[in-house]
Each structure stands twice: as C-alpha cells, then as structure tokens.
Amino acid sequence: MKIPLVLPPCDNCHSIYHIWIQLHDSYFKHKCTCGEDRSGVLGSEITIGYKGLYKSYYEFKENNDHILSMVFSATALEWEIVRLHNKWTQINALDTGKDISTEKLEDIMRKYRTIYDKLKETGKLLYPHGFEKYVEIAEDFKDTIDKGFPELILDTLIKDFQEKLFWPRNRILHFAFTDYEKQNAITSYNIAKLGIVILNSMDKYRRASL
C-alpha cells in the first residue's frame, strides 16, 4: 500500500511535492526538479496511524472520495490501537523473561470481538485506569472534546468512538453503503485523529512511568 507524503517547500526553488512511500517505509528518496536532494528519514512520531490519516486526507482532498476517506480514517485508528497493544504486550512479556510471537499477538487481538474491546484493553496497557479515565484527567483533551466534538461524550467515550467512527466504516465495507456526505468524512477524520493523539499521549505517559 502506498502512502502520500507532502514535503515541505524545497530550500532551493520552493517547489512543493506529493511523494509516495510504502506503508512500512521509514525513509524516502526524492530529488527535486531543480536537482536538490530531498531524501530524508521519517521521524518516530510518524506512526502507522498517522500514515493512515495521510491516506484518508489525500482521498478526501485530492480524489474527492469521501467514502474511501472514511474507511481509512477508521483504519488509521485501528492500526494505532493494534500497534500500541502489541508494543506494550511484548514489553510486558519481556519484563517477565518471556518472548511473545506475532501469531500469539494476533490470537490475543482476535479474542477482542469488537473495536470497543480492542480500545478498552489497549487503554489499560497504557494507563492503569484506562482510556476514558486518562482523558478525564487530561484537561487539554477534556476541553477539546467538550468544545469541538459534540458527537462524543466523556462518560461513554469508547462507545462513541465505536459508533461514530467504526460503525460507519463497517457499514461501508460490509454493506456497500455509500450514502454519506463530505461532512461525515470530515467528522470521521477528526475523531480518528483525536483518538491517535490521545493514544500517543498515553504511550508517552507509559514510557515515562518505566
């Protein structure tokens, strides 16, 4: 799968380019038409979830495909949930002197029947009291949701992520439902981005607590 990146303006000629990388690439090679070498390494903050968001934004902005954008918004958050779940499950296993295989990680994830379960269990790995409680104590996130996300309620945050982001995605994929408007794609993108930002904040908290 190819992911679009928008490079900052060229230092020499100020041209701006879309380039394409593979999903798991950590670097890119690019030469500007003026001859300037624009190759670089992706920062660690550009996780697989953010790459999914880049794809979602591109489909919305460049291809005017708000249905596919909705699919990638939800997928971006799910990728990030799985990434962090696997990361901290592996770390916890290593702390007890054990190794855990990719197949075992997949088995664990399959036992979580819904995205609600996946987000809930991953939240517990990152913060002892879980995803919703973390947001409650983080004033910035709490204010952001109160002021900018009328479709989300703090007391039912995981449920709302499931219903407002993933149910529409599933409706598209499972029932070929396409009766969504551009505003639905914007809402999906914003909810997915919020979820990824929260999860990465929780990841930072967990790393600081080691």
Instruction: Judge whether 156 and 136 are in contact, CB under 8 Å.
Output: no
User: What pLDDT was estimated at residue 210?
Assistant: 85
- Kindly indicate the confidence band of residue 89, based on its pLDDT and cuts at 50, 70 and 90: very high
User: What pLDDT was estimated at residue 9?
Assistant: 93
Domain map (residue ranges) of the chain: 64-208
Burial of 144 (0-12, 13-18, 19+ CB in 10 A): middle
Produce one character per residue of 24-41: b if its CB has 16 or more CB atoms within 10 Å, e if not.
Answer: eeeebebebeeeeebeee
Q: What is the pLDDT of residues 97-109, one digit of tens each?
A: 998 999 999 999 9
In the chain, what percentage of residues exceed pLDDT 90?
95
User: What pLDDT was estimated at residue 204?
Assistant: 97
d(CA 64, CA 68) in angstroms, rounded, equals 9
User: What pLDDT was estimated at residue 40?
Assistant: 93
User: What pLDDT was estimated at residue 149?
Assistant: 97
Mean pLDDT, the chain, rounded, equals 96
User: What pLDDT was estimated at residue 82?
Assistant: 98
Dump the DSSP string for 117-158.
Answer: HHHHHHHHHHSTTHHHHHHHH-HHHHHHHHHH-TT--GGGHH
Cβ count near 77 (within 10 Å) = 29
Q: What is the pLDDT of residues 120-139, one digit of tens each?
A: 999 999 999 999 999 999 99
Q: Model's pTM, two decimal places?
A: 0.95
d(CA 199, CA 205) in angstroms, rounded, equals 10
User: What pLDDT was estimated at residue 190?
Assistant: 98
User: What pLDDT was estimated at residue 127?
Assistant: 97
Question: Would you give the DSSP letter of residue 2?
Answer: E
By C-alpha distance, which of 23, 44, 79 is closest to 192? 79
32: enclosing H helix or E strand: none
Q: What is the pLDDT of residues 143-202, one digit of tens each?
A: 999 999 999 999 999 999 999 999 999 999 999 999 999 999 999 999 999 999 999 999
Q: What is the pLDDT of residues 6-56, one digit of tens each?
A: 998 999 999 998 899 999 999 999 999 999 999 999 999 999 999 999 999
Question: Would you give the DSSP letter of residue 24?
Answer: T
User: What pLDDT was estimated at residue 175?
Assistant: 98
